[in-house]
Homo-oligomer: A and B are copies of this chain.
Amino acid sequence: MKKNEIPYKIYLEEQEMPKQWYNVRADMQQKPAPLLNPGTLQPMTAEELAPVFCEELVAQELDDTTAYIDIPQEILEYYKMYRPSPLVRAYQLEKKLGTPAKIYYKFEGNNTSGSHKLNSAIAQAYYAKKQGLQGVTTETGAGQWGTALSMACAYLGLDCNVYMVKVSYEQKPFRREVMRTYGAKVTPSPSMSTEVGKKILAEHPGTTGSLGCAISEAVEAAVTKKGYRYVLGSVLNQVLLHQSVIGLEAKAAMDKYGVVPDVIIGCAGGGSNLGGLISPFMGEKLRGERDYRFIAVEPASCPSLTRGKYVYDFCDTGMVTPLAKMYTLGSSFIPSANHAGGLRYHGMSPIVSELFHQSLLEARAVEQTSVFEAAEQFARIEGILPAPESAHAIRAAMDEALHCKETGEEKTILFGLTGTGYFDMVAYEKFNDGVMGDYIPTDADLEKGFAGIPDIPQNK
Protein backbone atom coordinates (compact mmCIF):
# COMPACT_ATOMS: atom_id res chain seq x y z
CA MET A 1 0.00 0.00 0.00
CA LYS A 2 1.47 3.32 -1.10
CA LYS A 3 0.56 6.14 1.24
CA ASN A 4 2.59 8.86 -0.42
CA GLU A 5 1.06 11.77 -2.24
CA ILE A 6 -1.92 10.84 -4.33
CA PRO A 7 -1.53 11.64 -8.04
CA TYR A 8 -4.22 13.27 -10.13
CA LYS A 9 -4.94 9.95 -11.75
CA ILE A 10 -4.47 6.44 -10.45
CA TYR A 11 -4.11 3.78 -13.12
CA LEU A 12 -3.83 0.17 -12.07
CA GLU A 13 -1.02 -1.78 -13.68
CA GLU A 14 -2.24 -4.29 -16.24
CA GLN A 15 -1.53 -7.19 -13.88
CA GLU A 16 -3.53 -5.48 -11.14
CA MET A 17 -6.72 -5.40 -13.21
CA PRO A 18 -9.59 -7.54 -11.88
CA LYS A 19 -9.68 -11.08 -13.28
CA GLN A 20 -13.10 -11.88 -11.84
CA TRP A 21 -16.41 -10.07 -11.73
CA TYR A 22 -18.12 -9.70 -8.39
CA ASN A 23 -21.74 -10.79 -8.01
CA VAL A 24 -23.23 -8.72 -5.20
CA ARG A 25 -26.32 -10.94 -5.04
CA ALA A 26 -24.19 -13.63 -3.40
CA ASP A 27 -23.84 -11.42 -0.32
CA MET A 28 -27.46 -10.25 -0.20
CA GLN A 29 -29.52 -12.04 2.45
CA GLN A 30 -32.77 -11.01 0.80
CA LYS A 31 -32.12 -11.67 -2.90
CA PRO A 32 -33.62 -9.60 -5.71
CA ALA A 33 -36.96 -11.07 -6.76
CA PRO A 34 -36.76 -13.47 -9.72
CA LEU A 35 -38.01 -12.62 -13.20
CA LEU A 36 -41.51 -14.01 -13.73
CA ASN A 37 -43.09 -15.57 -16.76
CA PRO A 38 -45.98 -13.17 -17.44
CA GLY A 39 -48.21 -16.08 -18.49
CA THR A 40 -47.69 -18.45 -15.58
CA LEU A 41 -46.42 -15.90 -13.04
CA GLN A 42 -43.79 -18.51 -12.11
CA PRO A 43 -40.05 -17.68 -11.99
CA MET A 44 -38.48 -17.79 -15.42
CA THR A 45 -36.40 -20.92 -15.94
CA ALA A 46 -33.14 -21.21 -17.84
CA GLU A 47 -35.03 -23.07 -20.57
CA GLU A 48 -37.53 -20.24 -20.92
CA LEU A 49 -34.79 -17.61 -21.09
CA ALA A 50 -32.62 -19.53 -23.57
CA PRO A 51 -34.46 -18.42 -26.74
CA VAL A 52 -33.83 -14.80 -25.76
CA PHE A 53 -30.37 -14.78 -24.14
CA CYS A 54 -27.14 -16.73 -24.67
CA GLU A 55 -26.78 -19.75 -22.42
CA GLU A 56 -23.93 -18.51 -20.28
CA LEU A 57 -25.63 -15.16 -19.82
CA VAL A 58 -28.78 -16.95 -18.68
CA ALA A 59 -26.67 -18.80 -16.13
CA GLN A 60 -25.21 -15.50 -14.92
CA GLU A 61 -28.66 -13.93 -14.82
CA LEU A 62 -30.02 -16.65 -12.54
CA ASP A 63 -26.94 -17.18 -10.36
CA ASP A 64 -27.43 -15.39 -7.06
CA THR A 65 -24.98 -17.42 -4.98
CA THR A 66 -21.58 -17.39 -6.73
CA ALA A 67 -19.68 -14.36 -5.45
CA TYR A 68 -16.85 -14.29 -8.00
CA ILE A 69 -17.06 -15.29 -11.64
CA ASP A 70 -13.93 -15.57 -13.79
CA ILE A 71 -13.63 -13.08 -16.62
CA PRO A 72 -12.76 -15.12 -19.74
CA GLN A 73 -9.28 -14.48 -21.14
CA GLU A 74 -10.62 -13.09 -24.44
CA ILE A 75 -12.64 -10.46 -22.55
CA LEU A 76 -9.62 -9.62 -20.41
CA GLU A 77 -7.64 -9.01 -23.59
CA TYR A 78 -10.27 -6.59 -24.83
CA TYR A 79 -10.49 -4.90 -21.43
CA LYS A 80 -6.74 -4.32 -21.65
CA MET A 81 -7.26 -2.26 -24.80
CA TYR A 82 -9.37 0.43 -23.11
CA ARG A 83 -9.05 -0.32 -19.41
CA PRO A 84 -8.07 0.22 -16.65
CA SER A 85 -10.00 3.45 -16.52
CA PRO A 86 -8.45 6.16 -14.37
CA LEU A 87 -9.52 6.92 -10.83
CA VAL A 88 -9.16 10.68 -10.77
CA ARG A 89 -8.58 12.93 -7.79
CA ALA A 90 -10.49 16.15 -8.53
CA TYR A 91 -7.90 18.45 -6.96
CA GLN A 92 -8.92 21.46 -9.06
CA LEU A 93 -12.63 21.00 -8.38
CA GLU A 94 -11.97 20.73 -4.65
CA LYS A 95 -9.95 23.96 -4.79
CA LYS A 96 -12.60 25.80 -6.79
CA LEU A 97 -15.38 24.71 -4.44
CA GLY A 98 -13.24 25.53 -1.43
CA THR A 99 -14.31 22.30 0.21
CA PRO A 100 -12.39 20.23 2.76
CA ALA A 101 -13.89 17.15 1.09
CA LYS A 102 -11.71 14.93 -1.05
CA ILE A 103 -13.37 14.17 -4.35
CA TYR A 104 -12.56 11.18 -6.54
CA TYR A 105 -14.20 10.02 -9.72
CA LYS A 106 -13.92 6.85 -11.70
CA PHE A 107 -13.88 7.99 -15.32
CA GLU A 108 -15.35 5.47 -17.75
CA GLY A 109 -15.66 7.76 -20.76
CA ASN A 110 -12.25 7.35 -22.39
CA ASN A 111 -13.26 4.87 -25.03
CA THR A 112 -15.03 5.32 -28.34
CA SER A 113 -18.42 4.19 -26.99
CA GLY A 114 -18.05 7.17 -24.67
CA SER A 115 -19.24 5.32 -21.59
CA HIS A 116 -19.02 2.32 -19.29
CA LYS A 117 -21.39 0.37 -21.54
CA LEU A 118 -18.50 -1.32 -23.32
CA ASN A 119 -17.73 -3.35 -20.17
CA SER A 120 -20.87 -5.43 -20.63
CA ALA A 121 -21.10 -5.19 -24.43
CA ILE A 122 -17.85 -7.07 -24.96
CA ALA A 123 -18.91 -9.69 -22.41
CA GLN A 124 -22.31 -10.28 -23.95
CA ALA A 125 -20.92 -10.33 -27.49
CA TYR A 126 -18.21 -12.76 -26.40
CA TYR A 127 -20.70 -15.28 -25.01
CA ALA A 128 -22.83 -14.97 -28.16
CA LYS A 129 -19.77 -15.69 -30.28
CA LYS A 130 -18.76 -18.58 -28.06
CA GLN A 131 -22.21 -20.12 -28.50
CA GLY A 132 -21.69 -20.04 -32.25
CA LEU A 133 -24.38 -17.45 -32.89
CA GLN A 134 -24.45 -15.30 -35.99
CA GLY A 135 -25.43 -12.07 -34.29
CA VAL A 136 -27.22 -10.12 -31.63
CA THR A 137 -30.04 -7.59 -31.52
CA THR A 138 -30.51 -4.72 -29.16
CA GLU A 139 -32.07 -1.32 -28.67
CA THR A 140 -30.39 1.98 -28.02
CA GLY A 141 -31.64 5.37 -26.92
CA ALA A 142 -28.95 8.00 -26.73
CA GLY A 143 -26.71 5.56 -28.57
CA GLN A 144 -24.01 4.76 -26.04
CA TRP A 145 -25.06 1.16 -25.63
CA GLY A 146 -25.58 0.66 -29.36
CA THR A 147 -22.13 2.08 -30.05
CA ALA A 148 -20.55 -0.11 -27.41
CA LEU A 149 -22.21 -3.22 -28.80
CA SER A 150 -21.23 -2.29 -32.37
CA MET A 151 -17.63 -2.01 -31.28
CA ALA A 152 -17.69 -5.37 -29.52
CA CYS A 153 -19.37 -7.09 -32.47
CA ALA A 154 -16.96 -5.58 -34.99
CA TYR A 155 -14.05 -6.86 -32.92
CA LEU A 156 -15.48 -10.38 -32.69
CA GLY A 157 -17.01 -10.56 -36.17
CA LEU A 158 -20.68 -10.78 -35.13
CA ASP A 159 -23.72 -9.24 -36.81
CA CYS A 160 -25.14 -6.37 -34.79
CA ASN A 161 -28.73 -5.17 -35.30
CA VAL A 162 -29.61 -2.06 -33.35
CA TYR A 163 -33.12 -0.67 -32.96
CA MET A 164 -32.55 2.99 -32.26
CA VAL A 165 -35.32 5.13 -30.74
CA LYS A 166 -36.55 7.11 -33.75
CA VAL A 167 -36.15 10.53 -32.20
CA SER A 168 -32.51 9.74 -31.43
CA TYR A 169 -31.97 8.20 -34.87
CA GLU A 170 -33.04 11.49 -36.41
CA GLN A 171 -31.50 13.89 -33.89
CA LYS A 172 -28.29 11.98 -33.34
CA PRO A 173 -27.13 11.07 -36.85
CA PHE A 174 -23.52 11.04 -35.69
CA ARG A 175 -24.08 8.26 -33.17
CA ARG A 176 -25.78 6.35 -35.95
CA GLU A 177 -22.74 6.86 -38.18
CA VAL A 178 -20.35 5.66 -35.49
CA MET A 179 -22.38 2.45 -35.27
CA ARG A 180 -22.39 2.11 -39.06
CA THR A 181 -18.62 2.65 -39.13
CA TYR A 182 -18.41 -0.35 -36.84
CA GLY A 183 -20.56 -2.30 -39.28
CA ALA A 184 -23.83 -2.35 -37.34
CA LYS A 185 -27.27 -2.30 -38.98
CA VAL A 186 -29.24 0.53 -37.38
CA THR A 187 -33.06 0.66 -37.68
CA PRO A 188 -35.20 3.54 -36.40
CA SER A 189 -37.78 2.27 -33.92
CA PRO A 190 -40.68 1.75 -34.08
CA SER A 191 -40.22 0.13 -37.48
CA MET A 192 -42.28 -1.99 -39.84
CA SER A 193 -39.73 -4.81 -39.55
CA THR A 194 -41.38 -6.36 -36.48
CA GLU A 195 -44.94 -7.23 -35.52
CA VAL A 196 -44.73 -5.21 -32.32
CA GLY A 197 -43.36 -2.24 -34.25
CA LYS A 198 -46.25 -2.42 -36.71
CA LYS A 199 -48.73 -2.61 -33.84
CA ILE A 200 -47.24 0.40 -32.05
CA LEU A 201 -47.17 2.40 -35.29
CA ALA A 202 -50.82 1.52 -35.96
CA GLU A 203 -51.83 2.62 -32.46
CA HIS A 204 -49.58 5.68 -32.31
CA PRO A 205 -48.95 6.93 -35.85
CA GLY A 206 -46.12 9.45 -35.94
CA THR A 207 -44.64 8.36 -32.60
CA THR A 208 -40.95 9.12 -32.22
CA GLY A 209 -40.45 5.95 -30.21
CA SER A 210 -39.24 5.05 -26.76
CA LEU A 211 -36.66 2.80 -25.19
CA GLY A 212 -39.35 0.40 -23.98
CA CYS A 213 -40.71 0.11 -27.50
CA ALA A 214 -37.27 -0.43 -29.05
CA ILE A 215 -36.65 -3.22 -26.52
CA SER A 216 -39.84 -4.95 -27.68
CA GLU A 217 -38.68 -4.82 -31.29
CA ALA A 218 -35.18 -6.04 -30.55
CA VAL A 219 -36.47 -8.96 -28.48
CA GLU A 220 -38.87 -9.96 -31.24
CA ALA A 221 -36.13 -9.73 -33.85
CA ALA A 222 -33.91 -11.99 -31.75
CA VAL A 223 -36.41 -14.73 -31.01
CA THR A 224 -37.80 -14.89 -34.56
CA LYS A 225 -34.44 -15.01 -36.37
CA LYS A 226 -32.28 -18.14 -36.28
CA GLY A 227 -28.82 -17.70 -34.79
CA TYR A 228 -29.60 -14.46 -32.99
CA ARG A 229 -30.05 -13.53 -29.35
CA TYR A 230 -31.06 -10.36 -27.60
CA VAL A 231 -28.64 -8.36 -25.46
CA LEU A 232 -29.43 -5.51 -23.08
CA GLY A 233 -27.19 -2.73 -21.80
CA SER A 234 -28.61 -2.19 -18.34
CA VAL A 235 -31.18 -3.35 -15.77
CA LEU A 236 -30.31 -7.08 -15.88
CA ASN A 237 -28.34 -8.88 -13.18
CA GLN A 238 -25.77 -10.05 -15.74
CA VAL A 239 -25.07 -6.45 -16.75
CA LEU A 240 -24.46 -5.34 -13.18
CA LEU A 241 -22.17 -8.34 -12.81
CA HIS A 242 -20.04 -7.24 -15.77
CA GLN A 243 -20.10 -3.63 -14.61
CA SER A 244 -18.67 -4.64 -11.25
CA VAL A 245 -15.31 -4.20 -13.00
CA ILE A 246 -15.82 -0.45 -12.43
CA GLY A 247 -16.13 -0.80 -8.68
CA LEU A 248 -13.44 -3.46 -8.40
CA GLU A 249 -10.93 -1.27 -10.21
CA ALA A 250 -11.95 1.79 -8.21
CA LYS A 251 -11.58 -0.10 -4.95
CA ALA A 252 -8.21 -1.58 -5.93
CA ALA A 253 -6.95 1.89 -6.88
CA MET A 254 -8.13 3.37 -3.58
CA ASP A 255 -6.72 0.46 -1.59
CA LYS A 256 -3.32 1.08 -3.20
CA TYR A 257 -3.24 4.48 -1.54
CA GLY A 258 -5.12 3.58 1.62
CA VAL A 259 -8.09 5.76 0.70
CA VAL A 260 -11.57 4.81 1.95
CA PRO A 261 -14.61 6.61 0.56
CA ASP A 262 -17.30 7.79 2.94
CA VAL A 263 -19.93 8.28 0.30
CA ILE A 264 -20.27 6.72 -3.16
CA ILE A 265 -22.45 8.37 -5.77
CA GLY A 266 -23.71 7.18 -9.12
CA CYS A 267 -26.27 8.32 -11.65
CA ALA A 268 -29.09 5.85 -12.08
CA GLY A 269 -31.09 5.15 -15.22
CA GLY A 270 -31.36 1.38 -15.51
CA GLY A 271 -28.77 1.06 -12.75
CA SER A 272 -25.85 -0.53 -14.59
CA ASN A 273 -23.20 2.01 -13.73
CA LEU A 274 -24.42 2.61 -10.20
CA GLY A 275 -24.72 -1.12 -9.50
CA GLY A 276 -21.29 -1.81 -10.96
CA LEU A 277 -19.58 1.02 -9.14
CA ILE A 278 -21.00 0.26 -5.71
CA SER A 279 -20.94 -3.56 -5.88
CA PRO A 280 -17.67 -4.38 -4.10
CA PHE A 281 -18.23 -1.64 -1.51
CA MET A 282 -21.81 -2.81 -0.97
CA GLY A 283 -20.44 -6.32 -0.55
CA GLU A 284 -18.34 -5.10 2.38
CA LYS A 285 -21.38 -3.38 3.85
CA LEU A 286 -23.55 -6.49 3.40
CA ARG A 287 -20.90 -8.64 5.05
CA GLY A 288 -20.68 -6.17 7.93
CA GLU A 289 -17.04 -5.36 7.23
CA ARG A 290 -17.35 -1.63 6.65
CA ASP A 291 -20.10 0.94 6.29
CA TYR A 292 -20.54 3.31 3.37
CA ARG A 293 -23.20 5.76 2.23
CA PHE A 294 -24.47 5.15 -1.27
CA ILE A 295 -26.47 7.68 -3.28
CA ALA A 296 -28.37 6.94 -6.49
CA VAL A 297 -29.04 10.12 -8.46
CA GLU A 298 -31.87 10.18 -10.95
CA PRO A 299 -33.52 12.90 -13.05
CA ALA A 300 -36.57 14.56 -11.54
CA SER A 301 -38.18 14.00 -14.96
CA CYS A 302 -37.92 10.20 -14.65
CA PRO A 303 -37.93 9.47 -10.91
CA SER A 304 -38.29 5.70 -10.69
CA LEU A 305 -36.62 5.25 -7.29
CA THR A 306 -37.89 8.39 -5.59
CA ARG A 307 -41.47 8.34 -6.89
CA GLY A 308 -41.98 4.90 -8.46
CA LYS A 309 -43.65 1.76 -7.11
CA TYR A 310 -41.77 -1.39 -6.10
CA VAL A 311 -43.80 -3.95 -8.01
CA TYR A 312 -43.60 -6.47 -10.84
CA ASP A 313 -43.70 -4.76 -14.22
CA PHE A 314 -42.78 -5.34 -17.82
CA CYS A 315 -39.30 -4.25 -18.91
CA ASP A 316 -40.66 -2.95 -22.21
CA THR A 317 -43.59 -1.05 -23.66
CA GLY A 318 -44.75 -3.87 -25.90
CA MET A 319 -45.03 -6.26 -22.92
CA VAL A 320 -43.05 -9.02 -24.62
CA THR A 321 -40.44 -9.37 -21.85
CA PRO A 322 -40.64 -11.23 -18.56
CA LEU A 323 -41.86 -9.37 -15.50
CA ALA A 324 -39.22 -7.88 -13.22
CA LYS A 325 -39.76 -6.68 -9.67
CA MET A 326 -38.37 -3.18 -9.59
CA TYR A 327 -39.06 0.43 -8.80
CA THR A 328 -41.06 1.46 -11.83
CA LEU A 329 -43.08 4.31 -13.26
CA GLY A 330 -45.00 1.87 -15.44
CA SER A 331 -43.76 0.52 -18.77
CA SER A 332 -45.81 3.07 -20.70
CA PHE A 333 -44.22 6.04 -18.87
CA ILE A 334 -42.18 8.30 -21.15
CA PRO A 335 -40.42 11.37 -19.73
CA SER A 336 -41.10 14.78 -21.24
CA ALA A 337 -39.67 15.22 -24.72
CA ASN A 338 -37.95 18.29 -23.30
CA HIS A 339 -35.93 16.16 -20.94
CA ALA A 340 -32.47 16.25 -22.46
CA GLY A 341 -30.46 14.58 -19.78
CA GLY A 342 -30.70 10.85 -20.49
CA LEU A 343 -31.65 8.27 -17.86
CA ARG A 344 -35.08 7.87 -19.44
CA TYR A 345 -35.90 4.26 -18.53
CA HIS A 346 -39.17 3.65 -16.69
CA GLY A 347 -37.77 1.06 -14.29
CA MET A 348 -34.65 0.27 -12.29
CA SER A 349 -32.38 -2.75 -12.01
CA PRO A 350 -33.93 -5.35 -9.66
CA ILE A 351 -30.65 -5.52 -7.71
CA VAL A 352 -30.51 -1.75 -7.16
CA SER A 353 -34.25 -1.74 -6.44
CA GLU A 354 -33.92 -4.40 -3.74
CA LEU A 355 -30.92 -2.66 -2.16
CA PHE A 356 -32.89 0.59 -2.11
CA HIS A 357 -35.92 -1.21 -0.69
CA GLN A 358 -33.70 -2.51 2.13
CA SER A 359 -32.51 1.08 2.76
CA LEU A 360 -28.96 0.07 1.92
CA LEU A 361 -28.71 3.00 -0.47
CA GLU A 362 -30.30 6.43 -0.74
CA ALA A 363 -31.90 7.98 -3.79
CA ARG A 364 -32.12 11.59 -4.85
CA ALA A 365 -33.82 13.26 -7.82
CA VAL A 366 -32.22 16.35 -9.39
CA GLU A 367 -33.54 18.84 -11.92
CA GLN A 368 -31.92 19.12 -15.30
CA THR A 369 -30.94 22.80 -15.33
CA SER A 370 -28.99 22.26 -12.12
CA VAL A 371 -27.46 19.16 -13.70
CA PHE A 372 -26.22 21.14 -16.71
CA GLU A 373 -24.91 23.90 -14.46
CA ALA A 374 -22.84 21.28 -12.67
CA ALA A 375 -21.77 19.81 -16.01
CA GLU A 376 -20.56 23.16 -17.31
CA GLN A 377 -18.71 23.99 -14.11
CA PHE A 378 -17.08 20.58 -14.05
CA ALA A 379 -16.05 20.83 -17.71
CA ARG A 380 -14.39 24.19 -17.20
CA ILE A 381 -12.51 23.15 -14.07
CA GLU A 382 -11.67 19.49 -14.61
CA GLY A 383 -11.41 19.68 -18.40
CA ILE A 384 -13.80 16.82 -19.19
CA LEU A 385 -17.12 17.51 -20.90
CA PRO A 386 -19.43 15.05 -19.16
CA ALA A 387 -22.41 13.17 -20.57
CA PRO A 388 -25.64 14.65 -19.21
CA GLU A 389 -26.30 11.30 -17.51
CA SER A 390 -22.98 11.44 -15.68
CA ALA A 391 -23.61 15.05 -14.70
CA HIS A 392 -26.38 13.87 -12.37
CA ALA A 393 -23.69 12.27 -10.23
CA ILE A 394 -21.50 15.38 -10.54
CA ARG A 395 -24.39 17.51 -9.27
CA ALA A 396 -24.84 15.31 -6.20
CA ALA A 397 -21.09 15.04 -5.57
CA MET A 398 -20.70 18.82 -5.72
CA ASP A 399 -23.68 19.24 -3.39
CA GLU A 400 -22.10 16.82 -0.92
CA ALA A 401 -18.77 18.64 -1.18
CA LEU A 402 -20.45 22.01 -0.61
CA HIS A 403 -22.24 20.55 2.39
CA CYS A 404 -18.82 19.51 3.77
CA LYS A 405 -17.70 23.11 3.27
CA GLU A 406 -20.52 24.20 5.61
CA THR A 407 -19.87 21.52 8.21
CA GLY A 408 -16.10 21.42 7.86
CA GLU A 409 -16.14 17.65 7.38
CA GLU A 410 -13.22 16.18 5.40
CA LYS A 411 -15.29 13.48 3.78
CA THR A 412 -14.02 11.37 0.93
CA ILE A 413 -16.47 11.33 -1.96
CA LEU A 414 -16.30 8.88 -4.84
CA PHE A 415 -18.55 9.26 -7.85
CA GLY A 416 -18.91 7.54 -11.19
CA LEU A 417 -18.19 9.68 -14.22
CA THR A 418 -19.80 7.31 -16.66
CA GLY A 419 -19.20 9.06 -19.92
CA THR A 420 -18.50 12.00 -22.17
CA GLY A 421 -21.01 14.38 -23.73
CA TYR A 422 -19.52 14.73 -27.21
CA PHE A 423 -22.71 13.44 -28.83
CA ASP A 424 -24.99 15.46 -26.57
CA MET A 425 -24.28 18.91 -27.92
CA VAL A 426 -27.91 19.52 -28.89
CA ALA A 427 -28.72 19.39 -25.18
CA TYR A 428 -25.73 21.58 -24.31
CA GLU A 429 -26.76 24.04 -27.01
CA LYS A 430 -30.18 24.38 -25.33
CA PHE A 431 -28.43 25.04 -22.07
CA ASN A 432 -25.96 27.51 -23.66
CA ASP A 433 -28.87 29.34 -25.26
CA GLY A 434 -30.72 29.53 -21.94
CA VAL A 435 -33.78 27.72 -23.26
CA MET A 436 -33.57 24.63 -21.06
CA GLY A 437 -36.24 24.06 -18.43
CA ASP A 438 -37.14 21.51 -15.79
CA TYR A 439 -39.84 19.00 -16.58
CA ILE A 440 -41.15 17.28 -13.51
CA PRO A 441 -44.08 14.93 -13.94
CA THR A 442 -47.20 15.74 -11.94
CA ASP A 443 -48.79 13.13 -9.72
CA ALA A 444 -51.45 12.79 -12.42
CA ASP A 445 -48.72 12.07 -15.03
CA LEU A 446 -47.36 9.35 -12.78
CA GLU A 447 -50.79 7.84 -12.18
CA LYS A 448 -51.20 7.35 -15.92
CA GLY A 449 -47.97 5.34 -15.96
CA PHE A 450 -48.88 3.35 -12.87
CA ALA A 451 -52.20 2.42 -14.48
CA GLY A 452 -50.28 0.29 -16.98
CA ILE A 453 -48.60 -1.86 -14.32
CA PRO A 454 -49.99 -5.40 -14.53
CA ASP A 455 -52.58 -6.26 -11.89
CA ILE A 456 -51.17 -9.54 -10.64
CA PRO A 457 -51.16 -11.12 -7.17
CA GLN A 458 -47.47 -10.29 -6.53
CA ASN A 459 -48.25 -6.61 -6.90
CA LYS A 460 -50.88 -6.53 -4.14
Contact = CB atoms under 8 A, between A and B. Distances in A.
A432 B376 CA distance: 33
Contacts of A429: 173, 177, 180
Interface in A147-204: 151, 154-155, 173-174, 177-178, 180-183
Given A92-B81, A432-B181, A112 B380 contact: no
A174 B14 contact: no
B9 A173 contact: no
A278 interface: no
Interface stretch (A61-69, A354-362, A381-389, A435-443): A381-389
Interface string A336-363: 0000000000000000000000000000
The count of identical subunits is 2
Interface in A208-241: none
Interface in A29-76: none
A380 B8 contact: no
Nearest to A114: B422
A383 B420 CA distance: 16
B111 A8 contact: no
B380 A154 contact: yes
Contacts of A82: 383
Interface in A107-140: 110-112, 114
Nearest to A427: B177
Interface in A1-35: 7-9, 11, 13-14
A382 B81 contact: yes
A381 B82 CA distance: 12
A82 B7 CA distance: 12
Given A9-B14, A180-B432, A384 B420 contact: no
A112 B379 contact: yes
Contact of A423 (B13, B379, B422): B422
A380 B11 CA distance: 25
Contacts of A112: 379, 383-385, 420, 422
A394 B428 CA distance: 32
A170 to B, nearest CB: 14
Given A8-B14, A384-B112, A422 B151 contact: no
Contacts of A456: none
Contacts of A111: 383-384
Nearest to A433: B180
Contacts of A382: 81
Interface string A88-109: 0001100000000000000000
Contacts of A92: 77, 81, 155
A290 interface: no
Interface of A: 7-9, 11, 13-14, 77-78, 80-82, 91-92, 110-112, 114, 151, 154-155, 173-174, 177-178, 180-183, 376, 379-385, 420, 422-423, 425, 428-429, 431-432
20 contacts: A7-B80, A8-B14, A8-B81, A77-B91, A81-B92, A92-B155, A110-B110, A112-B384, A151-B379, A173-B429, A174-B422, A174-B423, A177-B428, A177-B429, A177-B432, A178-B425, A181-B376, A182-B380, A183-B380, A422-B422
3 nearest A-B residue pairs (beta carbon)? A174-B425, A7-B14, A154-B380
